[in-house]
Chain A
Amino acid sequence: MTYEELVLHAIDVASDLGATYAEARYHKISSSSITSRNGEIIGVSKNLSEGIGVRVLVNGALGFSSTNVLERSHVIEAVERAFKLAKSHAKLMKKPIEFSDVKTGCVRYSALRKKPFDSMSLEDKVSLLSECWETAKNYVKEVKMPVLTTALSESIEEKIVANSDGAFVISHIPRVGFRYSFVLVHPQKGTIQRSFGYRASGGLELLEEWKPVETLANEIKSCETVLCEGVKPPVEEIDVVVGSEIVGLMVHESCGHPSEADRILGREAAQAGKSFIKPDMIGETIGSEWATVIDDPTIPGSNGFYLYDDEGVPARPRFLYKEGKINEFLHNRWTAAVFGVESNAASRSMDFSSEPIIRMANTYLKPGDMNFEELIEDIRKGVYMKSYMEWNIDDERWSQRYVGLEAYLIEDGEITKPLRNPAIELSTKTFYTRIDGADKNLKFYAGVCGKGEPAQGVPVWFGGPNVRLRKIKLRVVS
């Protein structure tokens, strides 16, 4: 049996058993990475995850099963186990689960890759990581760099998604990533540490865009300046320009997550938590007119790219907050049925062993039309926070904190001194309400978003422009 046939057979078996909904997904991720420490290659890794995941709806209870033995008998067993366990737990259901009606896709698609992974030899990839170290170590002047780690990774994600409502979607997504992490030490000033990574769908052409050696060297230089010359941030109420790297994370955490309809309904209450957004809050004000946050899986070349979700629903941009109002939730077919809307295709799974759940893809704050200089020109005294390390947010996504790594004082419309460890610690509504300007420099950053039980990490982008907040009191990490 081919994998296509196996997936379709699983659905037939589940339907014959009496499942009111059945879904099967062949899911393969092959990946490799090279990791270096201080220019020396620690090791090369090769990973393969391949198998089938099955979901069934039985008497209002949802069952999931997976196996990596891709033989007919094992897949049938997996279906039978999912069916049996769902059926036995149906007695505990107070509100039987239903899925919304939807027009599913029958399609095959791929993310584009201009330069395949084998267009660069392993020796050249190794040389790239060595070059990072050789270049970086010459950039530090007053500090020592005891550790620089770098890693280059490549992966291909292949899926066949089919369900009893007619979906049949075959996809192929290559991705490339580059990460680095360094520690700088000054005998009197202490240490500064930075971790950063690029990741996107596509091929090795991405390395030309990222310019890893140059980017790393520049960051090291900037961090050295912050460590050696950084002064204490102002503690009085001031204007703050939040860099796109931090804006991206903020909208992911404080708009994307609380807009997940499964979280709003309490399905993740014991894990990733609930949401300050309640089911009846569509249309309520959350921020200023600048607060438009979009989650769009269809951005070509993005890390969270897909055209159909794991329930076979066609993807589209979702306007989660729109001009300061709570506008739309992220839905799968279960939450869509509860809310009486159509699924907007947010159902994703990490791998074959993971149930599809509601996830973001590429979440960003809508950019404005100013340039950066215009954004800061009327700030008499303020702070520009460009990058971060420490951050967290509470389990209803209301109280959030981001500690700046590379940060600067703004005086009379100019960037002046570097600052050490200013922290934005705001409620979600304060953040979106105090935005009064955004520049046009939309940038995206790569992440792995965690959710679910067992925890699933899925590739996402988050981004935005640089934004200006008025009258903010910062905290200082000493």
Chain B
Amino acid sequence: MNGKDFLLEIAGNLVKKALEEGFDEVAVQVHRKKEVMVKVANSEPSVIQNWTVANVGIYLAKEGRIIIVEQSPAKLEDTEKVFGELKETAKLSPPSPFYAPLPEPQSIEPLEGLVDKRILNTMNDPSDLTEMIINTAFEEDIDYVAGMIDFVYSEKALATSKDVNLYEDATYLEAYLRAFAGKGSGQWAYGSRMLKEERLRKMALEAARLASRAKHPEPGEPGVYDVILSPMVAGNLLNLVAGMSSAFSVLMGTSIFMNKKPGDKVASSIFTLIDDPRKPESAGSTAFDSEGVPTYTKPIIKEGVLKTFLHNSKTAAKMGAKSTGNAGWLWPHPWSLRIPPGEYTLDELIREVERGILVTNNWYTRLQNYVEGVFSTITRDALFLIENGEIVRPIYKLRIADRLPTLLQNIAALSREVYDIKWWEVGIPTRTPYILVKNLHTSTHTA
């Protein structure tokens, strides 16, 4: 039996078994993946990891009660053993205010080109590709590199009590490199379902060039700056914003959109944020969600206006909307983000700035208040001071400390070149340009 039939049979049998046990509705999603990751530190591999793992997610409903099970069992076939215990759980727990029936089956248009054989082949021994990335970075004047490259082949099978039976398999690659030179460093990332050596070379060179240019940083003053967010930084902050467009986040009080509704102006009119699951090369692309609803490309924010929250059938029922194909059984979530480009080159963006900074990377974005979007994030790697339209020098780390709604409203320009970013701090694959934001507050330690 091939992988597809095996996983669909497992999922289908679990649905059947759960219905026999007396549950009203069932959805089962079986994930299986093979993964190889090379982690690099001090310009050599620190560990080579690989995984062959399968897990099963089960959604169960009984008279409006909801139970969700996640298992990586020793044998997939053994998963059904949990149903007996869960029957008792269902009897004793009260109905969920989020309950809505699972959706009826819909026609799914499969996505083509989700599997890249080069990734499958390279997974067997990625040592030459790892060596190429390290060596490429050393074409610049740097001291050493760290980073990782990850190759994944994943399969998912979905079966529901509404007679949904769907399967999809895909590859993806995630890579990032951080280069160090003197007191400077630079980092860049790349994520895609396709292995493109040229993109990996570009990633390594970008990291190394940034490190080389930031070799001798000087102290920088905190204050109000026009800030150019690199795709790494834009990816991080817009992951947060997109996550807040989940209707579940809105209902749980963890969203700047809690007091907003579709149609409200929430950002600069030149800014559009799209959930784009139908772009095959994105590492987040998929044809169907966890309820079997077809995915589709949709603006979350279009020309500054909030267009939709992201819904599954439950949040949609609760808020009088339609599913947007973003389930998550409880938490609807974005699949893959895209920010349409502008018309500027990076140099032209810099020329727009009288007093500002170019932030190439950040981490630790944390919020004081999700509803008001009060946040700070600390820069890492190359940070450049811009005066009168020119980069004048690299400077030490600063925090951006402001409000997300202000950041969205103050977007002033976008670069025309876009980058596919995915790494530690950008969990949702994001295709984004450089973004210029006017008048953001920055901060640093007082002593």
Contact = CB atoms under 8 A, between A and B. Distances in A.
Instruction: Report if A and B associate in a common complex.
Output: yes
B39 interface: yes
Contact of B48 (A41, A86, A353): A86
A81 interface: yes
A43 B253 contact: no
B86 interface: yes
A239 B197 CA distance: 56
B367 A401 contact: no
Interface residues on A, range: 35 or more
Given A47-B69, A392-B365, A475-B443, A63 B98 contact: no
Interface residues on B, range: 35 or more
Given A46-B67, A123-B92, A270-B146, A147 B252 contact: yes
Interface stretch (B153-161, B273-281, B368-376, B411-419): B368-376
Contacts of B447: 426-427, 430, 472-473
Contact of B444 (A67, A77, A93, A399): A399
A400 interface: yes
B253 A430 contact: no
Contacts of A475: 443, 446
Interface in A45-65: 45-51, 61-65
Nearest to B370: A193
Contacts of B446: 425-426, 472-475
A266 B44 CA distance: 11
Contact of B187 (A62, A85, A122, A270): A270
Nearest to A74: B52
B380 A453 contact: no
Given A92-B131, A392-B399, A427-B447, A42 B36 contact: no
Contacts of B177: 270
A106 B371 CA distance: 52
Contacts of A93: 44-45
A329 to B, nearest CB: 17
B72 A85 contact: no
Contact of A40 (B74, B94, B148, B366): B94
A95 B41 CA distance: 11
Given A399-B378, A399-B397, A43 B67 contact: yes
A66 to B, nearest CB: 5
Nearest to A68: B72
B67 A45 contact: yes
A107 to B, nearest CB: 25
Contact of B127 (A91, A426, A454): A91
B66 interface: yes
B50 A65 contact: yes
Given A191-B371, A270-B146, 13 more contacts: A40-B97, A42-B96, A45-B69, A46-B86, A48-B82, A61-B48, A183-B371, A266-B42, A273-B363, A392-B377, A421-B374, A425-B445, A426-B447
Interface of B: 36-55, 65-75, 82, 85-86, 88-89, 92-94, 96-98, 125, 127, 130-131, 134, 144-148, 176-178, 180, 187, 251-254, 258, 330, 363-372, 374-378, 380, 397, 399, 401, 424, 443-447
23 contacts: A41-B96, A45-B68, A46-B68, A46-B71, A48-B71, A51-B72, A63-B48, A67-B51, A68-B55, A68-B74, A70-B75, A71-B75, A88-B125, A89-B48, A93-B44, A190-B372, A267-B41, A271-B148, A271-B424, A393-B378, A399-B444, A401-B401, A453-B39
Interface of A: 34, 37, 40-51, 61-71, 74, 77-78, 81-82, 85-86, 88-89, 91-95, 121-123, 126, 146-147, 149, 181-183, 185, 190-193, 265-271, 273, 352-353, 355, 389-395, 399-401, 403, 405, 421, 425-427, 430, 453-455, 472-475, 477
